[in-house]
Amino acid sequence: MWQRDPIAEPVRTVVASRVPVCRLRTAEWADALVWCLAVVGVMCSVPAIALGQLDFEAAPIRYYDAPVDDAVTRLEADLDAGRVRLDYDGKTGYLRSLLGALGIAPDTQVLVFSKTSFQQRRISPRTPRALYFNDDVYLGWVPDGDVIEIASVDPQQGVIFYTLRQESMAKPRIVRDRGNCLTCHASSRTRGVPGLLVRSVFPSPTGLPHFGAGTFRINHASPLRKRWGGWYVTGTHGKQRHMGNVVVKDRYHPEAIDVDAGANVTDLSGRFDTSRYLTPHSDIVALMVLEHQTDMHNLIVRANFEARLAWHQNAIMNEALEREPDYVSDSTRRRIDRVVDDLLKYMLFTDEIELTDPIRGTSGFAARFSSLGPRDSRGRSLRQLDLKRRLFRYPCSYLVYSAAFRSLPPLVKDRLFERLYRILHGDDPDPAFARLTAADRKAIFEILSETLPDARAAWARLTAGDG
């Protein structure tokens, strides 16, 4: 139910779509108009291929038509066979049961109060949207929301979007999205593929973004001062400042946001009813891991799609020019090299910001996440957190263990592991990798050699060839 607030007063009129019609004050109306125009502008743009976007609907990707084998598809099969059931409760609907079925821990919860979801009419600073995640699946839940939003990473088809209606049913059905989600989730902000996006905005007191002030796409390279606008953040971070936990009070000067008021917050109970959520936290460490992970997923998907498209087009040219089927053109190699370079630079944190004060969360997320492994014979893991000067102790993404990374085309993996070997031995000339210390390179090489079979096998072939 809509609640009256000092900015927007809803008119008691219901239209066919059940969306309340609001009478807005001038300032709020201006931002609402900007928001609507932004959405219309995206939806009315040329649907085939946006700037920098790959043609993933046609062969060989066939995003909407090709078989999918992700965590959600497997869960659907288990539901149909009666091996698993989803239980509905009056407080959170299917949320708790769905998290358990997908292996997602409640301590991953982070909270966003900006109206940047299609369920935006339910979202506000008093009713933030909760996000939960593991290595392959992301869930979005809003109190009294119509659906649970799901994004799942398929090893070949990338990020697939679904919804589950929040109605008690004998056989709940998870429904795949057929394009609506890609309005926002397939653009230059997601590396040109169906992907994931963490945004920082200048939020009004109702949660509506002041889009005229700009927004920030967030990953591990983003300065803290630009992060978490429109998000709740629990944890301590010393003298470092961010945009979370506060709203813009002067729409004409959104940059004057009171960052001190949102700093080092450890309790959200005075801001909204935290008892409606699975935990009272929006853990700063979980947020930082989420931000790294989402863009890493985007880059893995981009590398997969780009390589498959390049090989498909390479095969067409080989046939047209009567070349050998396994001939690889220079242009194809350059395309592979480009996505490998982007992926390596991100997975090795070459542009990560440096922390100036320690980061501490408020939930058990950091301890549980760090314990997951895998570990080498010395007990080291890529999931070990640093949180003093950088996010991870060893700067190499743990998503190298993901099914999506393992499923990268051979052209990509061969080139990636070859170049990674050179980087970790200090033999790559690109200055971007110079920030990796000798100790970092040695530790990463040793950890991967023991815990990543694909790397070990590729490096064995490489050294045998060198010999």
User: pLDDT tens-digit profile of 236-276?
Assistant: 999 999 999 999 999 889 888 999 999 999 999 999 999 99
* Helices 438-451/453-466 angle, 10° precision: 110
Q: What is the pLDDT of residue 357?
A: 99
Indicate if the pLDDT at residue 315 is higher than 70.
yes
pLDDT band for 211, please (50, 70, 90 cuts). Answer: confident
Q: What is the pLDDT of residue 418?
A: 98
Pairing of strands 137-141, 147-154: antiparallel
Give the pTM: 0.88
Indicate if the pLDDT at residue 363 is higher than 70.
yes
Contacts 24+ apart (CB under 8 A), 217-222: 217/189, 218/291, 219/291, 219/292, 219/294, 219/295, 219/346, 220/288, 220/291, 220/292, 220/295, 220/349, 220/351, 220/352, 220/353, 220/391, 221/351, 221/352, 221/353, 222/291, 222/353
Give the pLDDT confidence of 371-404 residue by residue, as tens digits: 998 999 999 999 999 999 999 999 999 999 999 9
Domain boundaries of the chain, sorted by first residue:
66-284, 302-466
